[in-house]
């Protein structure tokens, strides 16, 4: 086992700050991942500096976010009015800000770079060559995977992003994949070197997300005590498929109205994001078209402690995404003792124990989702048993376990980087990187 351990890492998260509220805009599971692992690393004695783009003139250049964690807000482009699609044009400005911050420190200030998402990987690649330290990269989502499973009406990820991801995959010293599925996607779709991929499963805050009183949670949130509550948590966009849940629940709601049996109520928690910003009221309009507006409650994104109450109020949580590299919502809900109904895509097959802590649905046909919802809700005893097993399943996933695996990946990156540092005479690091990219490019599927 390697003893290599970074003293200080530069953690790059260009397009979204870990200090932002998850569930709206570009803030989501990646924010949670970055912040939670940064805290765990800091508790282990590793200094963490997080570089992210300033999105307000009120953002202080540096923020001491917690013991051992500094957030650096880099000015790159206008503070407002930019989304991820605009950010490639600002990578030069952002990279310059990152390099200037390092230039103010003594040589060897950072031991390692960990980039999150492909935009950050582009910055990390250049910083790696400038600083002479290894780069570890986590993609979080992959364009080729998303494009292979597009939701109806959603826009494909641009070729620019696919190529950018391929460059980062080729250059990173270690690649972090959430699951075996993602590892295989990196290999088959991006020609990644299998020997440079580490599987690091995300987790949940098991102290925050715990079982609790359903009645108390419903009273706090103003939800009907007598209903079967099915909950969606996440950004409101086609990729996450909240429309599938509403359409699938509608026949059940109508049926319960006709028979007088226990009503079904849908809870939607989140805000518009991505292509969902083009039609911010689309989900509200759909509920009206389906005639179920009175059986749907919409809440804005919630902070963690309040989100735990959202989960506790639910009979089950639905995760109908078209693509999901892991699915933190599924683990958080199960940690609260709530079973999950999820699409059998990406990492959700790991996050949910099919038949034990929840159910997986193949595909997104509305009829299949209606059948699955009815099956789970019509068997209260089985649903309660799944809830008990859900907590047991979630306890396998903690941020401490995630951090253990990250530190092992960092050690491998540092050891291999140190062993390979034999520079060619008269050739700059950037030239060497360009040559490596040129040699690998021909092997990469576009």
Look up residue 47 and give its two tokens: 């200094």
User: Does residue 404 share a domain with residue 389?
Assistant: no
Residue 149, in any domain of the structure: yes
pLDDT of residue 273: 63
Q: What is the pLDDT of residue 262?
A: 87
In angstroms, the CA 433 to CA 65 distance is 34
Does 78 reside within a domain?
Answer: yes
26 is in an annotated binding site: yes
pLDDT of residue 254: 94
Do residues 180 and 260 both lie within one domain? no
Consult the annotation and say whether 90 binds a ligand. Answer: no
- In whole angstroms, give the CA distance from residue 180 to residue 188: 12
In a domain, 428, yes or no: no
DSSP-derived secondary structure for 252-313? HHHHHHHHT-S-EEEEEE--B-GGGGGSTTHHHHHHHHHT-GGGEEEE----HHHHHHHHHT
Statement to judge: residues 243 and 381 lie in one domain: yes
In a domain, 94, yes or no: yes
Distance CA 48, CA 188 (A): 33
22 is in an annotated binding site: yes
Cα–Cα distance between 108 and 131 in angstroms, integer?
7
- Looking at the fold, whether 32 and 57 belong to one and the same domain comes out as yes
What is the model's pLDDT at position 431?
A: 46
For residue 58, the enclosing domain spans 8-203+398-415
Is 420 within any annotated ligand binding site? Answer: no
412 is in an annotated binding site: no
The verdict on 159 and 288 lying in the same domain is no
**Is the same domain home to 385 and 242?**
yes
Closest to 190 measured CA to CA, from 155, 208, 206, 166: 166
Cβ partners under 8 Å of residue 39, min gap 6: 66, 69, 399
d(CA 350, CA 346) in angstroms, rounded, equals 8
Q: Is 392 annotated as a binding residue?
A: no
* 167 and 287 together in one domain: no
CATH assignment of the domain containing 265: 3.40.50.2000
State residue 274's pLDDT score. 59
395 known member of a binding site:
no
Listing DSSP states for 44-72 in one string gives TT-EEEEEEE--STTS-SEEEEETTEEEE
129 assigned ligand-binding residue: no
* Same domain as 408, residue 274: no
Q: Which two tokens stand for residue 103?
A: 């230039």
311 among annotated binding-site residues: yes
- Rounded distance, CA 152 to CA 344, Å? 18
CB contact burial 363-394 (16+ within 10 A = b; e otherwise): ebebeebbebbbebbeeeeebeebbebbbebb
Number of domains in the chain: 2
Together in a domain, 166 and 269? no
Residue 422 covered by a domain? no
Residue 194 lies in a domain: yes
pLDDT at 278: 61
Q: What is the mean pLDDT of each run of 10 residues along the chain (446 residues)?
A: 85 90 75 96 98 92 96 92 86 96 93 97 96 97 93 88 97 97 97 98 97 97 96 94 97 88 94 65 94 96 95 98 94 98 96 97 97 95 96 96 98 90 46 46 46
400 annotated binding-site participant: no
Q: Are residues 173 and 251 in the same domain?
A: no
Q: Is 302 annotated as a binding residue?
A: yes
Whether 3 maps to a domain, the answer reads no
Residue 141 labeled ligand binder = yes
Cβ neighbours of 81 (radius 10 Å): 8
Is 29 annotated for ligand binding?
Answer: yes
Structure tokens at 11: 């953690």
pLDDT at 22: 75
Query: In this structure, are 38 and 174 located in the same domain?
Result: yes
The CA distance from 428 to 135, in Å, is: 18
| 314 is an annotated ligand-binding site residue | yes
Examine the domain organization and report whether 243 and 373 are in the same domain: yes
For residue 158, CA distances in Å to 83, 88, 164 come to 14, 12, 10
150 domain-assigned? yes
């Amino acid at each position: 086992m390697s003893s290599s351990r970074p003293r200080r890492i530069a953690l790059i998260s260009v397009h979204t700050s870990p200090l932002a509220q998850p569930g709206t805009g570009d803030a989501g599971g990646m924010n949670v991942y970055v912040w939670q692992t940064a805290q765990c690393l800091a508790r282990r004695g590793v200094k963490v500096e997080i570089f992210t783009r300033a999105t307000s003139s009120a953002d202080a250049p540096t923020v001491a976010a917690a013991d051992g964690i500094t957030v650096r807000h880099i000015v790159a482009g206008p503070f407002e009015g930019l989304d991820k699609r605009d950010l490639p044009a600002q990578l030069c400005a952002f990279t310059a800000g990152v390099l200037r911050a390092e230039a103010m420190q003594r040589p060897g200030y950072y031991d390692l770079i960990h980039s999150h998402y492909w935009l950050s990987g582009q910055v990390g690649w250049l910083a790696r060559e400038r600083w002479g330290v290894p780069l570890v990269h986590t993609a979080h989502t992959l364009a080729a995977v998303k494009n292979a499973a597009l939701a109806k009406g959603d826009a494909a990820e641009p070729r620019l992003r696919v190529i950018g991801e391929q460059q980062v995959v080729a250059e990173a010293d270690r690649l972090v994949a959430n699951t075996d599925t993602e590892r295989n996607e990196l290999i088959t779709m991006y020609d990644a070197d299998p020997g440079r991929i580490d599987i690091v499963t995300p987790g949940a805050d098991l102290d925050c997300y715990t079982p609790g009183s359903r009645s108390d949670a419903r009273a706090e949130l103003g939800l009907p005590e007598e209903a079967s509550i099915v909950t969606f948590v996440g950004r409101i966009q086609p990729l996450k498929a909240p429309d599938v849940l509403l359409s699938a629940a509608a026949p059940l709601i109508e049926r319960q109205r006709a028979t007088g049996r226990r009503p079904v109520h849908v809870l939607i928690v989140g805000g518009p994001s991505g292509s969902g910003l083009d039609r911010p009221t689309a989900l509200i309009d759909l509920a009206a078209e389906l005639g179920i507006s009175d059986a749907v409650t919409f809440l804005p994104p919630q902070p963690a402690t309040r989100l735990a109450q959202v989960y506790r109020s639910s009979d089950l949580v639905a995760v109908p995404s078209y693509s999901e590299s892991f699915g933190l919502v599924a683990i958080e809900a199960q940690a609260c003792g709530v079973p999950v109904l999820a699409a059998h895509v990406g990492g959700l097959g790991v996050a949910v124990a099919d038949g034990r802590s929840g159910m997986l649905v193949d595909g997104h046909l509305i009829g299949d989702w209606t059948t699955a919802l009815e099956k789970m809700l019509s068997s209260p005893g089985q649903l309660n048993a799944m809830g008990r097993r859900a907590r047991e399943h979630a306890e396998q996933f903690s941020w401490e376990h995630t951090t253990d695996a990250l530190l092992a990946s960092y050690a491998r990156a540092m050891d291999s980087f140190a062993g390979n540092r034999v520079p060619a005479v008269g050739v700059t690091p950037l030239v060497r990187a360009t040559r490596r990219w040129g040699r690998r490019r021909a092997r990469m599927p576009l």
